[in-house]
Structures are given as structure tokens and as C-alpha cells.
Amino acid sequence: MAKQPSSATKKTGMSVGDEVMISMENVNKWYGNFHVLRDINLTVNKGERIVICGPSGSGKSTLIRCLNRLEEHQAGNITVQGITLNNDLKNIDEIRRDVGMVFQHFNLFPHLTILENCTLAPIWVRKMPKAEAEKIAMQYLERVKIPEQAHKYPGQLSGGQQQRVAIARSLCMEPKLMLFDEPTSALDPEMIKEVLDTMVSLAEDGMSMICVTHEMGFARKVANRVIFMDEGQIVEQNEPEAFFNNPQSDRTKLFLSQILDH
Amino acid sequence: MAKKPTKSAKLSDVAFVRNEDAPLLPPPASQAGITGWLWQNIFASMSDFTSIGASIRSLLVAGLSVFLLYFGGLQIYTLIDFAFVSAVFSDPETLKREVCWTEQQGGSLPNGWHAACWPFVVAKQKFIMYGAYPAEDLWRVNLTVIMGLVGLGWVLVEKLPYRPQVGALMLTAYPVIAFILLTGGNSDTSSINIATWLVIGLGLISIARLGSRGYLGSFFNEVASIFSIIGWVVISFTVVRGVAAIDFGLTSVDTRDWGGLLITLVVAVTGIVASLPLGIILALGRRSQMPIARILSTVFIEFWRGVPLITVLFMASVMLPLFLPEGVNFDNLLRALIGVMLFSAAYMAEVVRGGLQAIDKGQYEGAQAMGLSYWQSMRLVILPQALTHVIPGIVNTFIGLFKDTTLVSIVGIFDLLGGGQSAIADAAWSSPVQAITMYVYIAFIFFVFCFAMSRYSMYMERKLSTSRKH
């Protein structure tokens, strides 16, 4: 666990807008016979920072992967930025352009340099000129504090550095929403902090984000809403303070006791 | 996490603080330098006499090493002696076959002489290289080969400028130029024929365009990319035929007069150049989500892998004409070429599929999440990695294909081996060493090409693995 930040410093300058960014209505998904997402209803406003937690296999990764169509849902409606997710490739492309994603295993492209990783999508998807894409990429690499690694290959960087590159790579597309899928789970303890710090600074700049993580310190400090999932359902959601100090459901209590007391 | 020492343990026994760094020492002699190399690679396995078993093993290894050294040396010596030391190099008096006869056989060489008869190979050189290609037009073949070598060298050697452009020219303009130079062009294809095929090609592409935008229903939406590929193939093929119909003032040389290394190179290069892109498309098709593309690719691959190349060549040259309408006559070489091409594409597809399967799912997801389209993510992210993984397999297929070209001699096309074999039949050079000299020479030519491919692939592997450092 990273050290717990004090809750007194939190959420300065982070405001939640009224504009609806994501709405999920009665979303259901199956893997074969396995009902992995059960009747999910969720609305996310612009500027919200949501942390999703829950035991493994509870469907939290699947949920956020449905938001950019890495997974397909079978029933219900998902609308991102007013665009409905269906089989229309044009809609999917449009949503992916505006939604950045950071993965547990970074998923950097090992055959490209850090800089090329960051400029790939702006050049090919946004049709940006190379020089401009590189300029923007360097800005974001500076922002995640590794501009000096720009010409190295991902394999030459530490896990924490790679994850920060992955964040920069997503930011280069100037997304309106960031999805984090357990971004620190594959990292050594000493590297978790550098990634979390990057995410905190991102949140402070008003980025909307949905983050699947077990970093409860991060949740307390940054999130304006914590969602607890179990067996494919949203079991409880609340503001972090209330969620951690006064969980309502037994399952939440059990989960919190298991991850906090060790 | 380390366990904290329990209170009962005596701290003085456990506690330790390093005050001085341990010295950094040079490695022992057995680990570095020439001695180290010799020790690690040669003597380490035969100098263990610590027990009876180990001693016996050491002696066995030593004995085996000496034996293999002697035996291998003998082979190399025999080859060098055969090819160079005892060989006959010149035939100043144009004795032909008698220059390689021993006294017993009526010649002047000492009895028991057995070595290469190079004047025979020299005399047959033109036939082995070009077949029956007209002597006054050989410059056309030479020009084609020189252009090919320069272009290939340009693409393979790094640091030269305009490499992608040269590569593109080599893949588009060069085959057309080579085709015209080698055949003479001026084929009697009517302009109506060309126009018809152009219309068909454009039609297929329009269907693909409309289909991909969803105007023609879901079926055409699914198969749009197949239509597009076929359409482009038809159009490029028709353009080539159109250009080949122009009269450049070159005499026409029938492919029946081609032969020797020329045929081998034409078949191998066409097969190699065509099989990689075809194989990639088939491999992607076989892994596609679209059932039609997947089934078509799978059936194609399994069919061509399931039949021997000899059968393919036989079918192409003997059976195919029976199915074609009267008067339609494909060139025999062209038929063999297409057979070899499709055959090796099926093998290549499976090699490439192996590479695709080695790519982590996260790479696909990373590319997708960034908004890259299917073809973009394949071209920019997946294939560069997948193909790097399977360079040994790809080059293996290339080398196999290069040597399999000898099978075309079965259907009456005289490639390097076929040409060499018919040269052996020449009674004017008949001698006991005639055949073996020719086979040694042909083996040498094959070895040079295959070894070069192998070395280049090793160089590529090294280069890619050092620059990418996974």
C-alpha cells in the first residue's frame, strides 16, 4: 500500500460539472453463460473522479472496458458524450478518440520508442502533422516527468516509468475522459507512488476519470464517488468519506475489512 | 516481508553491519580472454578426472573430438582437392571430353584421377544460366538481373537515402520492366480485353466502397475488404497486361526458351515476393472475426498445404488446360509460377499466424483503445512485432521455396537443376566426372543464395533485437 495521504489536502480545485458524460442504463453482459454485468445503472458527469473497487471477478474491469467497446454489452444502453455505443464502427471510433485508457500491464508498443508510442495515435487517428504531434507528446512527457526517456524503448524503462508513459500516451489524444484499469496492480511498491502522484495531478486539473483500483488512499484523496461492485452488480456507492467510515452493506464491510486490515 | 527477529534470539549473533565494501576483483582466467574461451568451449568438457566415471567421460569426449576433427577435416580436404587442387581448369586445345579423361580412358590424365572438370561447366555456362535464351538478347536478362540486384541492395543496405521509395519501385515498376525485358512485351492483348478487365476491376472496387459504407446490406459490408483486394489485384494485373501489350521494339522470347538460373530466379523471386503479402492477408483472414473471411482463408490454406507441390505443378500444366475453353492458353511458366506462389503463400500464412498468436492481447487492446482502425493497428502495431518474431520461420519458408523451384523441371521447365541435368547428357563432354562436376557446381550456386538469405535474416534478427530491447 502507498502511504495514506491526509484527507485535509484533498479536492482543492476539483469541481464536478452538470454535463452528463456517461450514462449506462440497465446494462447487462454475459461471457457465455456467465452473467458478468448485472443491471448496471450509472451516470457520470463531467469532471467526476470515480473509483471502482470490489473483489476480483466482480466485473469492475469489464464495466470500464464496455465504455470504449473493448468489450461488447448485450443488453441496455451506454451513451458516452451523447454518442450511443452500438455496432456502428463510426460511433466506436468517435468514442475511442475521446476516451483514454490506461491498462494494468501498460500495453506500450515495445517496437516503438517512447516518443513514437505517444505520437502514433495523434498522427494516424487525429491526422496531426508529425512535428506538432511530437511537440505535444514532449509536453505530456514533461508533465509525467520523463521527457529525458523520449528516445528509449519501453523495455528499457521501469514499470512505474512505463505506466507514466502510458498515461502520457493517452493524454496525447487530449481525451475528455480517462479510464484506469488497475494502473498500479502490476507495479513494485516503490513505483506505485509515482504513478498515483501523476494521476492525482491529473485529477486536480479537472480531468474526468474512472479508476478501477484498490488504492484506497488514492480514493480518499481524489475520488468524489466510490463504487463497490460484487458479482457483477453495483452494491454500494457513496462519497469516499462516508463509504470508508460508514459502509452500509455487509459485503462492503467485509471487503473493506479484508483490504484495510493487513 | 522479512520476519522480525523474535525477542528471545540473541541480537549479537544476528546483527551485522558492513563497514567496508567487498573488493571488486577481476574474473578468474577461466572466465576471460582466449584462455577463458578455450577453457569454456573446448577443454571444460574433457578435463574432469575427479572420479573414474568422470575420467572415462572426459577421455571419450576427447577421443570423439579428435575423431570428428579428423573426419571433418578429411571431408573438407576431399572437397578442396576435388574442386581446386586436382581439378582441370582449362581446355586450351578444345579437346572437350578428352581433357578430362585418364590414360586408361584414352586421355592424358594419370590413372585414378578423380576431380572436377571445370571446362565442361564453362562450356555449358550459358545454358546453365540462361537456357535457350537467344544469345544476342542476353543483355536483356543481364540488365534485368543487374537492376534487380541494385534495387535489392539499395533496399537491404541501411543508411542509403530513399529506401522506401526504391522499395516501392522494386515492387511495382520493376516487375513490369522485368516482364517486358524478359518476354519482349508486345503481347497481342486486344484493347477491348484490357478495357473489359479494367471495368470489372473498377466495378469490384466500387462494390467494396459502397459495401463498406453500408449501402448494400450487411453481407456486402462484411465482405467489402475482400472485394476491394480482388478489385485491386484485377486492376494492377490488367495495367501490367496493358503495358506489356505496348511494342517496345524488342524481339519476343517465348518462355519455353528460358532456362537455367534465370528460371530459378524468376520462380523463386516471384514466389518469395508474392507469398509474404499473400500470406499476411491469409493469416489475418484466418484470425478474422468475419466468418466469411475466416472460412475462405482457412479453406485456401488447408487446401494448398494439403497437396504436394509436384501435384500442384502437374495439375497446373497438364490438367488445367483441359478445363480451360478452347483457344485460351496460359503460358506454361506462368501456370507454374501461380502454383508455386499460392502454394508458398499457404505456408507463409501459417508462419505469420504463429507470429500473430505470439502477440499479447494487450497490444491489440492498446491500439484499439487509442482509436486506431483495424488495418492501422495491424500495420503499425501488430504486424511489425509479429513479423519480427517469425523472421526465422519466414526465411525458412523462403529458403525452402528457393530449393523447391527445382520441382518445375518435372513439368518440362528447365530450371538450374533441370538445365544442368540436360547439360550432363551432352556426349561431347562425356567423362566419368561430368555429372558430379555439374552437381557440385549447382549445389554451390544454391548454397550461395540460401546461405546469403540465412545470414541476412540473422543480421536482421540481431539488429531488431538490439534496437528494441524487449
Q: What pLDDT is attached to residue A48?
A: 92
DSSP A169-227: HHHTT--SEEEEESTTTTS-HHHHHHHHHHHHHHHHTT-EEEEE---HHHHHHH-SEEE
Helix, strand, coil content of chain A in percent (nearest 5)? 40, 25, 35
pLDDT, one tens digit per residue, over B393-418 is 999 999 999 999 999 988 888 899 99
Using a CB-CB cut-off of 8 Å, the residues of chain A touching B469 are 153, 155-156
Contact B381 A121 (CB under 8 A): no
Please give the Cα distance from B50 to B67 (Å, whole number).
24
Phi/psi of residue A15, nearest 5 degrees: -120, 150
Contact A70 B385 (CB under 8 A): no
Q: What pLDDT is attached to residue A179?
A: 95
Task: State the maximum Cα–Cα separation within chain B, in Å, rounded to a whole number.
Answer: 105
Contact A105 B362 (CB under 8 A): yes
Q: Evaluate if residue B10 carries a pLDDT over 50.
A: yes
Option in B366, B371, B388 nearest A125 (CB)? B371
pLDDT, one tens digit per residue, over A99-143 is 999 999 999 999 999 999 999 999 999 999 999 999 999 999 999
As a whole number, mean pLDDT of residues B368-372 equals 92
Amino acid identity for residue B249 in this structure: G
Please give the Cα distance from B377 to B383 (Å, whole number).
8
Q: What pLDDT is attached to residue B199?
A: 92
DSSP character at residue B253: -
A240 grid coordinates: 469516499
Q: Which of B150, B141, B114, B96 is nearest to B426 (CA)?
A: B96
Using a CB-CB cut-off of 8 Å, the residues of chain B touching A111 are 384-385, 388, 468
As a whole number, mean pLDDT of residues A246-260 equals 89
DSSP character at residue B415: B
- Are A237 and A224 in contact, with CB atoms under 8 Å apart? no
Q: What pLDDT is attached to residue A2?
A: 43
Q: How far is A9 from chain B (nearest CA, A)?
A: 31
Using a CB-CB cut-off of 8 Å, the residues of chain B touching A124 are 372, 376, 380
As a whole number, mean pLDDT of residues A221-228 equals 92
Q: Evaluate if residue B1 carries a pLDDT over 70.
A: no
Amino acid identity for residue B292 in this structure: I
Torsion of CA A219, A221, A225, A226, to 10 degrees: 20
A170–chain B Cβ distance below 8 A for any pair: yes
Q: Band of the pLDDT at B8, cuts 50, 70, 90? A: low
Please give the Cα distance from A68 to A78 (Å, whole number).
10
Phi/psi of residue B108, nearest 5 degrees: -120, 0
Sheet holding A233-238, edge to edge: A99-102, A177-181, A208-212, A49-53, A225-230, A233-238
Task: State the maximum Cα–Cα separation within chain A, in Å, rounded to a whole number.
Answer: 55
Report which listed range, A231-235, B110-114, B466-470, is most confident: A231-235
Q: Evaluate if residue A181 carries a pLDDT over 80.
A: yes
A169–chain B Cβ distance below 8 A for any pair: yes
Q: Evaluate if residue A237 carries a pLDDT over 70.
A: yes
Q: Evaluate if residue A86 carries a pLDDT over 80.
A: yes
- Are A51 and A240 in contact, with CB atoms under 8 Å apart? yes
Q: Band of the pLDDT at B15, cuts 50, 70, 90? A: confident
Residues 58-77 of A with CB under 8 A from B: 68, 70
ipTM, 2 decimals?
0.89
Q: Which of A64, A66, A109, A176 to mutate to test the interface with B (most CBs of B within 10 A)?
A: A109
Please give the Cα distance from B357 to B363 (Å, whole number).
11
| Planar angle of CA B404, B391, B452, nearest 5 degrees | 60
CA distances from A232 to A25, A29, A59, A178, A249 (A): 14, 9, 5, 22, 15
Using a CB-CB cut-off of 8 Å, the residues of chain A touching B225 are none
Please give the Cα distance from A111 to B311 (Å, whole number).
41
Helix (H/G/I), strand (E/B), else coil: B307: coil
Helix (H/G/I), strand (E/B), else coil: A53: strand
pLDDT, one tens digit per residue, over B76-93 is 999 999 999 988 898 888
Q: How far is B361 from chain A (nearest CA, A)?
A: 9
Q: What pLDDT is attached to residue B27?
A: 82
Phi/psi of residue B16, nearest 5 degrees: -150, 135
Contact A111 B380 (CB under 8 A): no
Helix (H/G/I), strand (E/B), else coil: A46: coil
A152 grid coordinates: 528509449
Please give the Cα distance from B120 to B99 (Å, whole number).
9
Using a CB-CB cut-off of 8 Å, the residues of chain B touching A153 are 467-469
Helix (H) or strand (E) holding A39: strand A34-45
Using a CB-CB cut-off of 8 Å, the residues of chain B touching A173 are 370-371
Contact A111 B372 (CB under 8 A): no
Q: Band of the pLDDT at B461, cuts 50, 70, 90? A: confident
Please give the Cα distance from B404 to B275 (Å, whole number).
14
Summary mean pLDDT of chain A:
89
The set of residues, in sequence order, having a beta carbon less than 8 Å from that of B175 and lying 6+ positions away, is B240, B273
Amino acid identity for residue B44 in this structure: A
Using beta carbons and an 8 Å cutoff, which residues of B are at the interface with A?
360, 362-363, 365-373, 376, 380-381, 384-385, 388, 467-470
Summary mean pLDDT of chain B:
87
Using a CB-CB cut-off of 8 Å, the residues of chain B touching A169 are 370
Q: How many CB atoms lie within 10 A of CB B191?
A: 9
Q: What pLDDT is attached to residue B6?
A: 53
Q: For strand A233-238 and strand A225-230, is the pairing parallel, antiparallel, or unpaired?
A: antiparallel
Q: Is pLDDT larger for residue B44 or for residue A44?
A: A44
Task: Spell out a b/e string for B137-154, using b for 16 or more CB atoms within 10 Å of the CB, else e.
Answer: beebbeebbebbeebeeb
> Among B25-39, B257-271, B288-302, B330-344, which stretch is predicted with the lowest mean pLDDT?
B25-39
pLDDT, one tens digit per residue, over B84-133 is 998 889 888 888 888 888 888 888 888 888 889 999 999 999 999 999 89
Option in B363, B369, B373 nearest A101 (CB)? B369
Phi/psi of residue A75, nearest 5 degrees: -145, 150
Phi/psi of residue A178, nearest 5 degrees: -115, 135
Option in B363, B365, B371 nearest A121 (CB)? B371
Q: What pLDDT is attached to residue A262?
A: 59
Q: What pLDDT is attached to residue B7?
A: 52
- Are B429 and B120 in contact, with CB atoms under 8 Å apart? yes
A239 grid coordinates: 462519497
Q: How far is B218 from chain A (nearest CA, A)?
A: 12
Phi/psi of residue B258, nearest 5 degrees: -75, 155
Please give the Cα distance from B257 to B263 (Å, whole number).
10
The set of residues, in sequence order, having a beta carbon less than 8 Å from that of A251 and lying 6+ positions away, is A228, A230, A235, A236
Please give the Cα distance from B339 to B391 (Å, whole number).
24
pLDDT, one tens digit per residue, over B166-195 is 989 988 889 889 988 998 877 777 888 888
pLDDT, one tens digit per residue, over A49-60 is 999 999 988 999
Chain centre distance of CA B168 = 19
β-sheet bridge partners, residue B415 = B260
- Are A38 and A231 in contact, with CB atoms under 8 Å apart? yes
Q: For strand A49-53 and strand A208-212, is the pairing parallel, antiparallel, or unpaired?
A: parallel
Using a CB-CB cut-off of 8 Å, the residues of chain B touching A100 are 369
Using a CB-CB cut-off of 8 Å, the residues of chain A touching B376 are 124-125
- Chain A residue at shortest CA distance from B380: A120
Q: What pLDDT is attached to residue B467?
A: 57
Helix (H/G/I), strand (E/B), else coil: B401: helix
Q: Is pLDDT larger for residue B316 or for residue B266?
A: B266
Number of A–B residue contacts, CB under 8 Å: 65
Q: Which of B369, B336, B391 is nearest to A179 (CA)?
A: B369
Q: Which of B213, B222, B370, B380 to mutate to test the interface with A (most CBs of A within 10 A)?
A: B370
Q: What pLDDT is attached to residue A7?
A: 41
Q: Evaluate if residue A3 carries a pLDDT over 70.
A: no
- Chain B residue at shortest CA distance from A175: B370
